[in-house]
Amino acid sequence: MGGGGYVAGPAGVAALSLGLPLVLTEADRHLGLANRALASRARRVCLAFPIPGRDGDRYRVTGRPVPPAILEADRDAARRRFGIDSAERCLLVFGGSQGARSLNLMALAAFAGDGRAPTASRRNFHVIHVSGRRDYAEVKARLDRAENLDRYTLLEYEPTLADPLAACDLVLARAGGSILEMAAAGKPAILVPYPHAAGRHQHANADWMAAAGAAVVIHDSDLAPCRLTSTVAGLLADQRRLERMSAASAALARPGAAGAIAGEILAAARP
pLDDT tens-digit readout, 214-237: 999 999 999 999 999 999 999 999
Which of 17, 21, 25, 57 has the alpha carbon at shortest distance from 180?
25
Same domain? 87 vs 148: yes
Residues 121 and 46 in one domain: no
Is the pLDDT confidence value at 164 over 90? yes
The model's confidence at residue 114, banded by pLDDT at 50, 70 and 90, is: low
Residue 20 phi, psi dihedral angles, 5° rounding: -90, 140
Task: Give percent of the chain with pLDDT exceeding 90.
Answer: 75
Q: Which helix (H) or strand (E) holds 24?
A: strand 23-26
Share of the chain above pLDDT 70, in %: 95
User: Is 2 part of any domain?
Assistant: no
- Count of structural domains, the chain: 2
Residue pair 187/168 in contact by the 8 Å Cβ criterion:
yes
Domain match, 41 and 86 both: no
DSSP-assigned beta bridge partners for residue 128? 92, 153
- Asked whether residue 192 carries a pLDDT value surpassing 80, the answer given is yes
The lowest-confidence range among 36-40, 64-68, 97-101, 176-180 is 97-101
Average model confidence (pLDDT) across the chain:
91
pLDDT at 150: 85
Q: Is the pLDDT of residue 145 over 90?
A: no
pLDDT band at 100 (very low <50, low <70, confident <90, very high): confident
pLDDT over 60 at 109, yes or no = yes
Contacts with 260 (C-beta within 8 Å, 6 or more apart), sequence order: 46, 60, 62, 63, 254
pLDDT at 92: 98
* Residue 250 reports pLDDT greater than 90: yes
Across residues 89-111, what is the average pLDDT?
A: 87
Does residue 16 belong to any structural domain of this protein? yes
Of 14, 33, 8, 16, give the one whose Cα is nearest residue 24: 8
Give the CATH number, domain containing residue 48: 3.40.50.2000
Both 40 and 143 in a single domain? no
In a domain, 118, yes or no: yes
Residue 115: pLDDT over 80: no
Nearest CA to 106 out of 205, 173, 18 is that of 173
- Contact (Cβ atoms closer than 8 angstroms) between residue 75 and residue 88: no
Model confidence at 21, in pLDDT bands (50, 70, 90)? very high
212, part of any domain: yes
Structural domain boundaries, residue 144 = 69-252
> What is the model's pLDDT at position 28?
85
Residue 29 confidence (pLDDT): 85
112 and 157 part of one domain: yes
pLDDT in tens, 62-99: 999 999 999 999 999 999 999 999 999 999 999 866 66
Confirm whether 55 is domain-assigned.
yes
Q: Is the residue at 3 inside a domain?
A: no
DSSP string, 175-218: -STTHHHHHHHT--EEE---TTSGGGHHHHHHHHHHHTTSEEE-
- Mean pLDDT of the region 108-123: 69
The reported pLDDT for the residue numbered 217 is 97
CA dist 44 and 152 (Å) reads 45
Are 134 and 119 a contacting pair, CB within 8 Å? Answer: no
CA–CA separation, 111 vs 143, rounded Å?
Answer: 10
pLDDT at 98: 61
* CB distance 194 to 100 below 8 Å: yes
